[in-house]
Amino acid sequence: MTALTLAARDSSTMVRRQLKRLLRYPSMTVQLVVTPVIVLILFVYVLGGTLGAGLGGGRAAYVDYVVPGILLMAVATAATGTAVMVASDMSEGIVARFRTMRISRGSVLTGHVVGSVVQQLLGMAVVIGVALAIGFRPNAAPLEWLAAAGMLTLFVVAVTWLSVALGMKSPTPEAASNAPMPLILLPFLGSGFVPTDSMPTALRWFAEYQPFTPVMETVRGLLLGTPIGHDAAIAVAWCVGIGAVSYLWARRTFDRA
Amino acid sequence: MTNLAIAADGLRKSYGDKVVLDGVDLAVPEGTVFALLGPNGAGKTTTVQILSTLVPADGGTVSVAGHDLARDPDGVRGAIGVTGQYSAVDKLLTGEENLRLMADLHHLPRREGRHRAAALLDRFDLADAARKPAGTYSGGMRRRLDLAMTLVGDPRVIFLDEPTTGLDPRSRRAMWRIVRELVADGVTIFLTTQYLEEADGLADRIALLDHGRLIAEGTADELKRLIPGGHVRLTFADAGLLDAAHRIVGAGAPDPDTLTLRVPGDGVRAIRDLLVALDAHAIDVAALTVHTPDLDDVFLTLTAPQKESVR
């Protein structure tokens, strides 16, 4: 067997392990799906009337605006779960056992990443379903839906590798739950919930140049037809950069520990 | 001809300025049980971690199952199985799933993986719990599952790091029986333990590790010969008899609190002479126990001076 097929085989074994674990421990998944749904409902029904008026529409306009922000917030929330899962797995004897076996070194991490990505894509489908039920009206063609899904998947993969690295760097699962916390703020400190135009200069500068904003603008553009401009290219560059650096960081940490 | 399953030469490891292993040499012939015995903190677990490729050594050369540890860690990994001190099972998966996971990671065909998992569940008395998550297992069951997982890949060299620590006597015996069966199959076992009885009962050779150095090595009998012979412990009804007996015997250590006298020597002749002498003075012995030297004595004798030198 070549090194590559060996790696693929071990990785798929580890993905199966991780999916089984997620099924056995559903409370984490439920929390990751329920939290963004609650935030969506709060923002639409509590704040949406006023915020929508500011956008020049009403509650209906705000549902359309806020969905990409909620989706990225869901990814950021899930990052916490992934980091905790990885940190607690690393503290268990089973990972020490894997290290003493002749298996592809990266497969343990790949298992975590693929498991989390699957979990988050399912979560996003639920959020989009709820959004459609309460008035989200995207005008995207099938190809645009596909592109939006691709953009979100790329983003999820990048953030998940980052949370895996953060989880491995954390001494305890408790510490791991804090590490990705700042990510949850990024949709707020960007164009997730209100357009950046209304923000004070410094904040606005940060909001426009941080990585979450181009991703949200791209998804918004694909689903709702707002202008995308350079955002798509910038978003892809951010995702590839964050993903690649996090991947190398995670692998290095795993090989050293 | 004896091939060495494990050969280590001048193994060193420090964490910061704390020296954990300070030049350890090991030679374990194939198909034997080697016990590394030592108190907590002696460096036993670190030794296992190094030999099983988990942690790199700072110095020294090691070969395991004919593979050089530094140059060919994957070769070593392919030949060994490790059951650590903390159970290395996935607590969310069932016993059967844990074993199937190992079979998949050893790239066994599906049918064979299923077959082997079932056979191991039977052999380790886990068949009834096969479909329950490992997190619900008792300590003994989890340790058995752990060892079963180690065996899925048919390792030629098995490391057992304190395999019976924290187990009740029945589970401990079950573990010992399994170890003996494995040796009968020609597997080499490297065992660490803090129980002298365990090393005495299982191991072909025993090494005593203390403060990162091997302070003695040999068979259990060889080690026992390192220390003076055993003793006889006599118990008396009162302090007067104890004093009288001590005067007559002219040797030994009286303990007024327990009314016992410890007399060196454990041979039949020595005991008979002792009893005859006491009988001649009409001194009643309330109880007599003979204490032959065991590894506890060896261990305490050899490690005591070193401990005192530590301030």
The pLDDT of residue B210: 87
- Residue B65's closest CA among B160, B178, B179, B190? B190
Q: Best mutation site among B80, B96, B105, B131 for testing chain A: the one with the most A CBs within 10 Å?
A: B105
Q: pLDDT above 90 covers what percent of chain A?
A: 68
pLDDT digit string, tens, across residues A160-173: 999 999 999 988 88
Q: How confident is the model at residue A257 (pLDDT cuts 50, 70, 90)?
A: low
Q: From B135, which residue of chain A is nearest by alpha-carbon distance? A: A24
Cβ within 8 Å, pair B80-A100: yes
Give the A:B interface size as CB pairs under 8 Å. Answer: 60
Is A3 part of the contact surface with chain B (CB cutoff 8 Å)?
no
Chain A: give the shortest CA distance to residue B1, in Å.
29
In chain A, which residues have their Cβ closer than 8 Å to the Cβ of B153?
Answer: 101
pLDDT surpassing 70 at residue B309: no
- Nearest CB among A1, A10, A97 relative to B88 is that of A97
Domain(s) labelled CATH 3.30.70 in chain B stretch across: 231-292
Domain(s) labelled CATH 3.40.50.300 in chain B stretch across: 4-89+137-225
Contact between B212 and B20 under an 8 Å Cβ cutoff? The reply is yes
Name residue B216's beta-bridge partners.
B208
Phi–psi pair at B159, nearest 5 degrees: -100, 125
The pLDDT of residue A232: 93
Cβ within 8 Å, pair A97-B84: yes
Q: Which of these ranges, A79-83, A166-170, B217-221, has the smallest mean pLDDT? A: B217-221
Distances (CA, A) of A102 to B52, B79, B87: 11, 9, 19
In chain B, which residues have their Cβ closer than 8 Å to the Cβ of A7?
Answer: none
Contact between A88 and A173 under an 8 Å Cβ cutoff? The reply is yes
Cα–Cα dist A192/A203, whole Å = 14
Distances (CA, A) of A112 to A14, A51, A94, B199: 8, 38, 14, 40
Alpha helices of chain A — where are they, by DSSP H?
Answer: 3-24, 26-42, 48-54, 59-90, 93-99, 107-133, 142-169, 173-178, 181-185, 201-209, 212-224, 231-256
Cβ within 8 Å, pair A94-B153: no
Cβ within 8 Å, pair A103-B104: no
Q: Which of residues 161-220 of A touch B (CB under 8 A)?
A: none
Is A92 part of the contact surface with chain B (CB cutoff 8 Å)?
yes
Is A17 part of the contact surface with chain B (CB cutoff 8 Å)?
yes
- CATH of the domain spanning B231-292, picked from 3.30.70, 1.10.3470, 1.10.260, 3.10.450: 3.30.70
Cα–Cα dist B278/B257, whole Å = 21
Cα–Cα dist A254/A241, whole Å = 20
Contact between B157 and B65 under an 8 Å Cβ cutoff? The reply is yes
In chain A, which residues have their Cβ closer than 8 Å to the Cβ of B103?
Answer: none
Q: How confident is the model at residue B304 (pLDDT cuts 50, 70, 90)?
A: low
CA A7 centroid distance within chain: 25
Structure tokens at A172: 């305890």
Q: Which residue has the higher pLDDT, B288 or A41?
A: A41
CATH code that applies to domain B4-89+137-225: 3.40.50.300
- Nearest CB among A13, A92, A101 relative to B77 is that of A101
Which contacts (CB < 8 Å, 24+ apart) does range A148-152 have?
A148/A218, A148/A219, A148/A222, A148/A223, A151/A215, A151/A218, A151/A219, A151/A222, A151/A232, A151/A235, A151/A236, A152/A71, A152/A75, A152/A121, A152/A124, A152/A215, A152/A219
**Buried b / exposed e across B25-58, counting CB within 10 Å, b at 16+?**
ebebbbbbbbbbbbeeebbbbbbbbbbbbbbebe
Cβ within 8 Å, pair A101-B104: no
In chain B, which residues have their Cβ closer than 8 Å to the Cβ of A1?
Answer: 107
The pLDDT of residue B266: 67
The pLDDT of residue B26: 93
Chain A: give the shortest CA distance to residue B107, in Å.
8
Cβ within 8 Å, pair A94-B88: yes
Q: Which of these ranges, A61-65, B118-122, B300-304, has the smallest mean pLDDT? A: B300-304
Contact between B92 and B133 under an 8 Å Cβ cutoff? The reply is yes
Contact between A193 and A215 under an 8 Å Cβ cutoff? The reply is no
Q: Across chain A, what does the average pLDDT equal?
A: 92
Distances (CA, A) of A59 to A55, A65, A194, B294: 10, 10, 13, 84
For residues A117-133, average pLDDT: 94
CA A24 centroid distance within chain: 22
Chain A: give the shortest CA distance to residue B105, in Å.
6
In chain A, which residues have their Cβ closer than 8 Å to the Cβ of B89?
Answer: 93-94
pLDDT digit string, tens, across residues A54-70: 888 889 899 999 999 99
The pLDDT of residue B308: 41
For residues A80-96, average pLDDT: 88
Which pTM does this prediction carry?
0.81
Structure tokens at B108: 């066994």
In chain B, which residues have their Cβ closer than 8 Å to the Cβ of A103?
Answer: 105
Chain B: give the shortest CA distance to residue A15, in Å.
11
- Nearest CB among A6, A13, A92 relative to B101 is that of A13
Cα–Cα dist A235/A148, whole Å = 12
Q: From B155, which residue of chain A is nearest by alpha-carbon distance? A: A101
- Nearest CB among A17, A24, A102 relative to B101 is that of A17
Tell me the HSE value of B203 on the side-chain side, using a 13 A CA sphere: 28
- Residue A193's closest CA among A176, A206, A207? A207
Cα–Cα dist B207/B190, whole Å = 11
Q: What is the rounded (10 degree) CA torsion for B259, B263, B266, B270?
A: -110
For residues B94-119, average pLDDT: 94
Q: Which residue has the higher pLDDT, A161 or B262?
A: A161
